[in-house]
């Protein structure tokens, strides 16, 4: 779009739409990870403290 010399507002709208779509996809993947991998790790006490640290780290990245 930039190479096509499109209006700046159109480019910004597309960037916002893409960002929103990626954020939504990330939320779906995070939910699946929490329900699957993290839940299993906590139930089996298999690296549960590491999993919790990883989840906290990713939540912090998502909240920015």
24-62 pLDDT tens trace:
999 999 899 888 888 888 888 877 778 888 889 988 988
What number is the average pLDDT over the span 2-31?
91
Does residue 2 surpass a pLDDT of 70? no
Alpha carbons within 13 A on the beta-carbon side of 22: 7
pLDDT of residue 14: 94
Does residue 1 surpass a pLDDT of 80? no
Does residue 16 surpass a pLDDT of 70? yes
Q: Which residue has the tokens 């139930």?
A: 43
pLDDT of residue 40: 84
């Amino acid at each position: 779009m930039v190479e096509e010399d499109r209006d700046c507002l159109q480019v910004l709208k597309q960037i916002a739409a893409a960002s929103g779509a990626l954020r939504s996809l990330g939320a779906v993947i995070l939910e699946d990870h929490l329900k699957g991998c993290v839940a299993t790790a906590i139930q089996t006490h298999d690296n549960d403290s590491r999993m919790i640290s990883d989840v906290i780290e990713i939540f912090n990245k998502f909240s920015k």
